[in-house]
Chain A
């Protein structure tokens, strides 16, 4: 199976809820509207994408957008395991609540907690949404957003 065949399969399964498809190196990103994400994830899982490798959020302050991407792949299907599909959506930066995909992929349990603590986005329907790595006061700063700037000390005078 080639990567274009995988994209065709996904197009067929998800139909017209796909907003856009972006190809990167070694990954395909499929963007859907945020309110259709659970439905799209279920369909992707039925195709054989049985687990997610990570949940990634990327902040674009200039466009006032945060993208949340679930990178899914397969353990059960050797053909599909060669490919990684990122199922994602874009939301305005001031969005507070988005649906959780815990009900589809149990792996999202810890990963969504990480996005929650680093970006301050609440996943509705997550059974146990608490900061995972950070302490609550640090998590309130939403440290992985671009407007949180790390001041580093240097040994050189500037």
Chain B
């Protein structure tokens, strides 16, 4: 006997260990495979699948690896501190994610943001949406082994992140909308740069189509994979582009318009196929609509003179120095009133369309300086159910395709 060490009895004769995944035999021809949580293809989550041959018979999404107890932490913080806390769910989609919280509190306070602030919110929401879609494309590109589709969207995302940086002062986690308004007005010449970015993005989307979406190799992997029929999509309550790619016309911007979405001219694309390819096309079409919205917002901002971007209730309490800074630099510094803000007793429910779908906030106040209860259900948390009900019946090689096409984002889902 020289040098041979049997693995029998340690991990089991039939056990397989490959980096990022491991499996064990649980019955005749039935294996349990643990994918993640460190696997580059699954992010900070684990999917436990049971396979017969290489066909998935059961899937159990195991979430919670990046759970940050936001609902509990929110109860122990002043109202204004909720904004930088909740935007940690999806840092590149920060404005969309925190907007319904801000709106819910505004409803309880009985105030509304000035018109200019509403346009500025829509501006950042759409910039965030495009950046988040591009991020999703990049990750999906890695999943299906298309490295160009990883490089390109991540490079182009920088255009939108730079714009957000210029507008808000932060690349990610902007904390831009606050109760009663926004923190900054657009810098001079911003709208011209925005139009340049819109023209660039339109050109790039056409190039994405040529190299990726209409690529026969990619289509072979995406078409008719992970089909979510319309009735099942409704039954599972999934949301966002995944829902619309299954033929359901539902977008919060259209069904329950908030801010100034009802004054803007745009369309809600809907695809009927419900497969992975349709979900990619859905996002491409939605970027085009976001660009349309941004053009209109840029025109509006050009035509209208600057006006206060904070509701009077807050703005009138601002010290003279703050007002001077606003006049010279366009920045509305947080007024001291926010720190001691008491929100009237009551309950409010607000929703918004984020890049990954609908996010809902249920906010309850007992009249104090801190929320009594904030219940957040993000889009990814609602889309996670897809893995349990759609994966069975697919081959293991389809798992990254389905996972990527859902655009699942673990930090957002775990909250």
List residues of A whose CB falls within 8 A of some B CB: 22, 24-27, 29, 50-54, 56, 58-59, 69, 71, 75-76, 78, 81-82, 84, 86, 105-107, 109-111, 118, 131-135, 143-144, 148, 150, 152
Contacts and interface: CB of A to CB of B under 8 A. Distances in A.
B414 interface: yes
Interface string B382-415: 1011001100000000000000000000000011
Contacts of A150: 69, 72-73, 76
A111 B72 CA distance: 16
Q: Which of A71, A75, A118, A148 has the most CB of B within 10 A?
A: A75
Interface of B: 63-64, 67, 69, 71-73, 76, 104, 107-108, 233-237, 243, 248-250, 255-256, 346-351, 358, 360, 362, 364, 372-373, 375, 377, 381-382, 384-385, 388-389, 414-415
A134 B237 contact: no
13 contacts: A26-B349, A27-B348, A51-B235, A53-B237, A53-B360, A54-B360, A54-B362, A54-B377, A56-B373, A76-B234, A107-B382, A110-B381, A143-B69
Nearest to A53: B360
Nearest to A106: B235
B385 to A, nearest CB: 6
Nearest to B232: A106
What 9 A-B pairs come out closest when comparing CB atoms? Answer: A107-B237, A133-B64, A51-B237, A27-B349, A24-B347, A25-B348, A25-B107, A54-B377, A133-B67
B64 A54 contact: no
B164 to A, nearest CB: 28
Contacts of B63: 132-133
Contact of B255 (A25, A82, A109, A144): A82
Given A53-B351, A148-B72, 20 more contacts: A24-B346, A29-B347, A50-B234, A53-B237, A54-B377, A56-B362, A56-B373, A56-B375, A58-B373, A59-B373, A75-B234, A75-B237, A81-B255, A81-B256, A84-B351, A107-B385, A132-B64, A133-B63, A133-B67, A150-B76
B237 A106 contact: yes
Contact of B377 (A53, A76, A152): A53
A150 B108 CA distance: 26
Nearest to B110: A25
A58 B364 contact: yes
Contacts of A71: 349, 360, 362
B80 to A, nearest CB: 17
A76 B108 CA distance: 30
Contacts of A58: 364, 372-373
A144 B74 CA distance: 11
